[in-house]
Amino acid sequence: MKIAMIGHKRIPSREGGVEIVVEELATRMVEKGHSVTVYNRKGKHVSGGKTVNLKEYKGVKIKSVPTFENGKLNAIVYSVIATFLALFGRYDVIHFHAEGPCSMIWLPHLFGIHTVATIHGLDWQRAKWGGFATKFLKFGEKTAAKYADELIVLSEGTRDYFKKTYGRETVFIPNGIDVQNEKKADIITKKYGLEKDGYILFLARIVPEKGLHYLIDAFMQTDTDKKLVIAGGVSHSGEYAKQIHDMAKDDRIIFTGFVEGDELWELYYNCRMYVLPSDVEGMPISLLEAMACGCECLVSDIDTAKNVVGEYGYTFKKSDVNDLKNKLCEILGKPKADKAEQIEYVKNNYSWDEITDRTLELYKK
Same domain, 83 and 228: no
Phi, psi of 32 (to 5 degrees): -90, 5
Q: What is the pLDDT of residue 26?
A: 98
Helical ranges in 89-149 per DSSP H:
106-110, 131-147
Same domain, 197 and 278: yes
- The tens digit of pLDDT for each residue in 165-220 reads 999 999 999 999 988 899 999 999 999 999 999 999 999 999 999 999 999 999 99
How many folded domains does the chain comprise? 2
Q: What gap in Å lies between CA 300 and CA 228, rounded to an integer?
A: 17
Query: CA torsion sign, 44 to 49 to 53 to 58?
Result: negative
- The tens digit of pLDDT for each residue in 313-325 reads 999 999 999 999 9
Q: What is the pLDDT of residue 103?
A: 96
Give the single-character DSSP code of 66: -
**Domain-embedded: residue 181:** no
Average pLDDT of span 150-177: 95
Same domain, 78 and 217: no
Same domain, 49 and 145: yes
Q: Tell me the CATH number at 245.
A: 3.40.50.2000
94 within 8 A of 113, measured Cβ to Cβ: yes
- The tens digit of pLDDT for each residue in 233-284 reads 876 667 899 999 999 999 999 999 999 999 999 999 999 999 999 998 888 9
Same domain, 170 and 237: no
- The tens digit of pLDDT for each residue in 336-355 reads 999 999 999 999 999 999 99
Same domain, 248 and 327: yes
34 within 8 A of 9, measured Cβ to Cβ: no
Q: What is the pLDDT of residue 346?
A: 94
Find the domain containing 37 and state its range.
2-176+351-363
Q: Express the helix, strand and coil content of the chain in percent, nearest 5 each.
A: 45, 20, 40
> Around 238, how many Cα atoms within 13 Å sit in the side-chain half-sphere?
3
Q: What is the pLDDT of residue 44?
A: 62
* Residue 12: cis peptide before it, omega within 30 degrees of 0: yes
Same domain, 284 and 355: no
Same domain, 320 and 355: no
> Around 187, how many Cα atoms within 13 Å sit in the side-chain half-sphere?
13
User: 2-16, 38-52, 114-128, 139-153: which has the minimum mean pLDDT?
Assistant: 38-52
Same domain, 222 and 91: no
In our burial notation (b when 16+ CB lie closer than 10 A, e otherwise), range 196-231 reads eebbbbbbbbbbbbbbbbbbbebbbebeeebbbbbb
Same domain, 69 and 87: yes
Grouping H, G, I as helix, E, B as strand and the rest as coil, residue 28 is helix
* Position 43 pLDDT exceeds 70: no
**Domain-embedded: residue 182:** no
Q: What is the pLDDT of residue 32?
A: 98
Higher local confidence (pLDDT), 219 or 42: 219
Same domain, 228 and 335: yes
**Domain-embedded: residue 328:** yes
10 Å Cβ neighbour count for 2? 13
* Position 130 pLDDT exceeds 80: no
Q: State the average pLDDT for the chain.
A: 92
Same domain, 82 and 112: yes
